[in-house]
Amino acid sequence: MLHDAASKPLQRRLKDDWSYIYWNDTALFSEEYQDTIYSLLVEISTKAFGADMTPYWHDRRKGRFFEKVSKFCLLVDPLGNISGWTGYHRRIFGNAHCLYLDSSGVLPESQGGGLMGHVHARMIASECLTYAPRPVYLVARTESPVVYRLLRNGCGAENIWPAPGTGVDRRVALIATDVAEWLGQSDKFDPDSLRILGAYDNLDALYGDLPSCGDPAIDTFFRETLRPEDAYIVIAKAGLPRIAQQWGKREIKAVRAQSRRLPWLAAKPAGR
């Protein structure tokens, strides 16, 4: 397990002996520890995206990624190997409370089980509880239909932008404009479409093969409107009732899966 003398991670359990470790204080990472984490991120992200991610993480380090990120997580498989990563920035954009969902990925052999979705659901539910009844806006710069579908399923089709055939809400446009400036890409940003032209022009393409989410309408929307180096600033409005429901479903599913694997857990009598 990864440990640093200045900043030790916390750990939370997921289903089937998976877990994740996380930090709220990555600014305390030593240079040597950052070397270790960045090397790990290059290795697993290159496998996850099918493209050399060395230039990407080189740029993120130059931009002092670990000094800025609010929470950083690593997905851990049952054998203790790191299989994915994610993180977010807690920011005010457009005078609204936002979570900017940073780069995320899972190794190909570990995809499809909803594990990263479970991690995100916990993080987002906690943030929504903290700021209720005010909404929290989830923000991501992405060219991935998979990320878009996850946000749409979590927040509702009526609460996500951009959306085919739907104009951009004024509050959303203000948020996206601030995000583009924060990313240093205002000159590449189109506020009417929320598209950043050349968002990843420091890479050949973010993905070796563009991902598919399995929803023909979403997949077509992304493929017809983005080039490999482009991205959208995707914004989803997260309301506490819906997010709590989504989080609850995942927690119940995880407990049931654990109960099937450990029958004594399901049969244990209630105590006082």
pLDDT at 247: 58
Exposed/middle/buried for residue 178 (C-beta within 10 Å: 0-12, 13-18, 19+) = buried
Nearest-angstrom CA–CA distance, 126 and 108: 28
Q: 10-258 has which CATH code? A: 3.40.630.30
DSSP helix/strand/coil, 136: strand
pLDDT (0 to 100) of residue 16: 87
Distance separating alpha carbons of residues 42 and 63, to the nearest angstrom: 16
CB-based contacts of 117: which residues, under 8 Å, 6+ apart? 150, 250
Per this entry, what is the length of the chain? 272
Q: Across the strands, what pairs with 82?
A: 76
Q: Half-sphere exposure of residue 86, counting CA atoms within 13 Å on the CB side?
A: 22
Q: Tens digit of pLDDT for each residue in 19-38? A: 999 999 999 999 999 999 99
Q: Are 21 and 76 in contact (CB under 8 A)?
A: yes
Q: What confidence score (pLDDT) does residue 137 get? A: 96
Residues of the chain with pLDDT under 50: 255, 258-272
Q: What is the DSSP secondary-structure string of 38-63?
A: HHHHHHHHHHHHTS--HHHHHHHHHT
For strand 136-142 and strand 231-238, is the pairing parallel, antiparallel, or unpaired? antiparallel
* Domain residue ranges of the chain, discontinuous segments joined by +: 10-258
Residue indicated by tokens 């180096």 = 229
pLDDT in tens, 90-132: 999 999 999 999 989 999 998 878 888 889 888 888 888 888 8
